Chains A and B, each alone.
Chain A
Amino acid sequence: AQKVTQAQTEISVVEKEDVTLDCVYETRDTTYYLFWYKQPPSGELVFLIRRNSFDEQNEISGRYSWNFQKSTSSFNFTITASQVVDSAVYFCALSDLIFGTGTRLQVFP
């Protein structure tokens, strides 16, 4: 069975703070993919990143970074120096687009 857990329902930060969104997954597959999506108020899911299970290198893209740790089955997402425009619901997903329940991030000015 595949499962994605995002334990943080909602996080509120003040602009310029760093924030980490947690994602823990379960899968019996030896090869799998992990995703992060952003869902702004408009409702559309915006693809952020895809990682292959063989590639445990952390990735940085601008203010976004991802920490993939196979040993703890986690794929955490950090936003550095958060901005108001980062306010959205963020979803972690596993291979066949099995989604977690999402974390609502609110960034206050």
Chain B
Amino acid sequence: GAGVSQSPRYKVAKRGQDVALRCDPISGHVSLFWYQQALGQGPEFLTYFQNEAQLDKSGLPSDRFFAERPEGSVSTLKIQRTQQEDSAVYLCASSLQGGLDAFFGQGTRLTVV
């Protein structure tokens, strides 16, 4: 596709449920980022991939958060045993290399009830 695509756009989960958020980056983009954006806040870095390698996962808030990009293209962010504080918009971005010229998806709005 022409841009970064994220699915689903909206997700409502019951507390304790596991969720999986998908990101389809722009074809050929090596770098992929995940961000968490709480209401009224700026995006907070979660993790970064270069191809299939997860080079930085320092922003993942707990071991309930897990991200993968097994074939170096599509990435999935999984959150286990969701909590209310996980409610946020999860943004994915991709770029040819690093943080330059990164393109963002529209995000997945996760609401944990």
Contact = CB atoms under 8 A, between A and B. Distances in A.
Size category of the binding interface on chain B:
20 to 34
A45 interface: yes
A102 B41 contact: yes
B99 A97 contact: yes
A45 B100 contact: no
Contacts of A102: 41-42
B59 to A, nearest CB: 10
B99 A45 contact: no
Nearest to B56: A96
A101 B100 contact: no
B42 A101 contact: yes
A23 to B, nearest CB: 11
B35 to A, nearest CB: 8
Contact of A97 (B41, B45, B106): B45
A47 B103 contact: yes
